[in-house]
């Protein structure tokens, strides 16, 4: 354990710097490539002009500048935020439950968020666009509610709050919420198309309002989880051993689950359900830079942001000017990529 930590501590800074460089590269690529041909230097200048507090000036036409400032840039920024949120949450769930298959949706967040969004759609409360739209709010609340119920049920079944009982409770709660969601959807077939589009997830029509809504909670939760690397490392040796080392296992697990769930719910509210990011990015980080959560967590945050921005780039350019659902891209490119990483790392 301590040997592993020491080994991980050395290359950690190098990996982090490399990952950050990759992220900047990915974001730059995503900015300069798009269905509309715009002068590359102009796009970057216009982007900086929009992001920085002072005026830089650019050579773009009004329409081009508006496309960069209102459509392309916020979409890239939201991709970074959502990617970082989902994969940091995924890494946390994997650590908290010592389960390599854990992902951000482990405790029923997807089913709860989906039910929340469905309720808003069938009642015509909102359309999922803008700031704190009803669909976003109900998806957020549904996601958190499902975790709360999972936790309650899991603890009821097992005073020790073991990982297994919580995961099983998550399966039960998710199935139940999915059943209710499916029933509502079948009763309201006129809304089925909106619901499907939401479930597929994506950043298609996202703007600064979504960014503004997600950036603060995501930054706070990711920062909090990054501080938990050591604790997750201790938890990884087992509940009893961690308790002997002075970690209040039950309370720590609750706290981490609450933060990771808030993070997931924030992402789900603005982008629907995006698969795979929260699962493969942390594993890739682990395979490349070692299993210590002190490196897995920051690399997951940066890698998740990079991965999602690249997937969204593919989603909007592969069949341009048509859009591909981003969930299709994350799984289609993510799975083979993950297998390659898995093979090379095992060698």
Partner 1 sequence: MKFRWIAALAVMFALVAAACGDDTDVASTEDATSAEDAMEDVAADEAADGDDAMEEDAMEEDVMEEDVMEEDEAAVEEPADEPAMEEDAVEDDAMEDDVPTRIVSLNPTGTEMLFAVGAGDQVVAVDNFSYYPPEAPVVDDLSAFTPSVEAIAAFEPDLIVTQGPIEGLDALGVPIMELWAAVTLDDVYSQIEQVGAATGHVGEAAELVGQMQTDIDAVLASLPERETPLTYYHELDNTLYSVTSSTFVGYVYGLLGLENAADAADPDGEFFGYPQLNEEFLVTADPDIIFLADTICCAQTAETVAERPGWDQLSAVQNGNIVELNDDIVSRWGPRIVEFIQVAGEAVAALETADAS
Give the residues lining the site for partner 1 (CB under 8 A).
34-36, 62-63, 66-67, 69-72, 74, 103, 105-106, 110, 114, 124, 127-129, 170-171, 174, 186, 189-194, 196-197, 199-200, 202, 204-205, 207-209, 273, 275-276, 279, 316, 319-323, 325, 327-328, 331
DSSP state of 69: I
Distance in Å, CB of 11 to partner 1, minimum: 31
DSSP state of 325: P
Distance in Å, CB of 132 to partner 1, minimum: 15
Q: Which is nearer to partner 1, 142 or 298 (CB)?
A: 142
**In contact, 150 and 242? CB cutoff 8 Å:** no
**Cα 34 to Cα 245: distance, rounded to the nearest angstrom:** 52
Q: Which is nearer to partner 1, 107 or 228 (CB)?
A: 107
Write the DSSP string, 15-45.
HHHHHHHHHHHHHHHHHH-SSS---HHHHHH
Distance in Å, CB of 113 to partner 1, minimum: 11
Q: Which is nearer to partner 1, 114 or 229 (CB)?
A: 114
Distance in Å, CB of 326 to partner 1, minimum: 10
Give how far Cα 170 sits from Cα of 102, 147, 166, 178, 185, Å: 11, 8, 6, 12, 22
Distance in Å, CB of 37 to partner 1, minimum: 9
Q: Which is nearer to partner 1, 70 or 152 (CB)?
A: 70
Tell me whether the omega of the peptide bond preceding residue 321 falls within 30 degrees of 0, making it cis.
Answer: yes
Name the 3-class secondary structure at 101. coil
Q: Which is nearer to partner 1, 166 or 228 (CB)?
A: 166
């Amino acid at each position: 354990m301590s040997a592993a930590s020491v080994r991980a501590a050395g290359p950690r800074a190098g990996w982090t710097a490399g990952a950050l460089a990759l992220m900047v590269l990915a974001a730059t690529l995503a900015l300069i490539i798009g269905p509309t041909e715009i002068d590359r230097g102009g796009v970057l200048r216009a982007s900086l002009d929009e992001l920085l507090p002072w005026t830089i000036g650019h050579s773009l036409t009004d329409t081009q500048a508006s496309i960069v400032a209102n459509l392309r840039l916020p979409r890239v920024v939201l991709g970074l935020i959502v990617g970082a949120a989902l994969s940091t949450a995924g890494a946390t769930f994997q650590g908290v439950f010592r389960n390599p298959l854990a992902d951000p949706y482990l405790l029923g967040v997807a089913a709860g968020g989906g039910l929340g969004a469905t309720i808003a759609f069938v009642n015509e409360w909102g359309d999922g666009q803008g700031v704190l739209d009803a669909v976003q709010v109900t998806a957020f609340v549904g996601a958190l509610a499902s975790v709360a119920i999972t936790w309650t049920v899991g603890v009821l079944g097992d005073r020790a709050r073991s990982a297994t009982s919580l995961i099983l409770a998550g399966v039960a709660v998710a199935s139940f919420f999915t059943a209710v969601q499916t029933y509502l959807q079948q009763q309201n077939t006129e809304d089925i198309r909106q619901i499907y589009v939401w479930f597929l997830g994506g950043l298609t029509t996202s703007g600064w309002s979504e960014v503004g809504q997600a950036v603060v909670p995501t930054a706070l939760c990711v920062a909090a989880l990054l501080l938990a690397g050591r604790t997750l490392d201790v938890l990884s040796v087992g509940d009893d051993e961690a308790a002997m080392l002075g970690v209040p296992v039950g309370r720590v697990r609750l706290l981490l689950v609450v933060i990771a769930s808030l993070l997931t719910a924030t992402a789900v509210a603005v982008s629907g359900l995006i698969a795979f990011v929260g699962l493969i990015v942390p594993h890739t980080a682990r395979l490349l830079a070692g299993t210590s959560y002190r490196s897995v967590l920051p690399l997951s945050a940066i890698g998740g942001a990079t991965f999602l921005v690249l997937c969204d780039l593919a989603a909007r350019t592969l069949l341009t000017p048509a859009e591909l659902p981003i969930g299709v891209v994350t799984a289609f490119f993510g799975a083979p990529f993950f297998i390659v990483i898995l093979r090379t790392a095992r060698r």
